Amino acid sequence: EVHLLESGGGFVQPGGSLRLSCAASRFTFSSYGMSWVRQAPGKGLEWVSKISGGGGSRYYADSVKGRFTISRDNSKNTLYLQMNSLRAEDTAVYYCAKDDSYYFESWGQGTLVTVSS
């Protein structure tokens, strides 16, 4: 069974930065695209970003374009999300998900990011 474990969430002031990690196991990590999906408190799901299996293609939601950077290290089976210029509206639980052709077969447990002064 696929296992995804996010880390790196926490409390940050507006304008600050944070890097999330997602450790993957029990599947061939480099063969699959991976995505980040977030959920603001009490709200619905919002797709944030996707990266292809080899890392050569990256896609972003308009709400984070230019501020967030997705990357991966296939030698470490780890997905990353570098978040810069954070805003209050970025406050959410961030999930990493195994991306099977633009649907999400497996999800991590999520990591909470709180942006507040």
Contact positions vs another protein (CB under 8 A)? 35, 37, 44-47, 50, 59-62, 95, 100, 102-110
CB of 117 to another protein, least distance (A): 27
Nearer to another protein (CB atom), residue 89 or residue 105? 105
Q: Shortest Cβ distance from residue 53 to another protein (Å)? A: 17
CA atoms in the 13 A half-sphere facing the CB of 90: 29
Quick one: 73 or 100, whose CB is closer to another protein?
100
Q: Which residues contact 44 (CB under 8 A, 6 or more apart)?
A: none
Nearest to another protein of 68, 108 (CB atom): 108
Cα separation, 54 vs 116, in Å, equals 35
- Let me know: does 116 contact 14? Beta carbons within 8 Å: yes
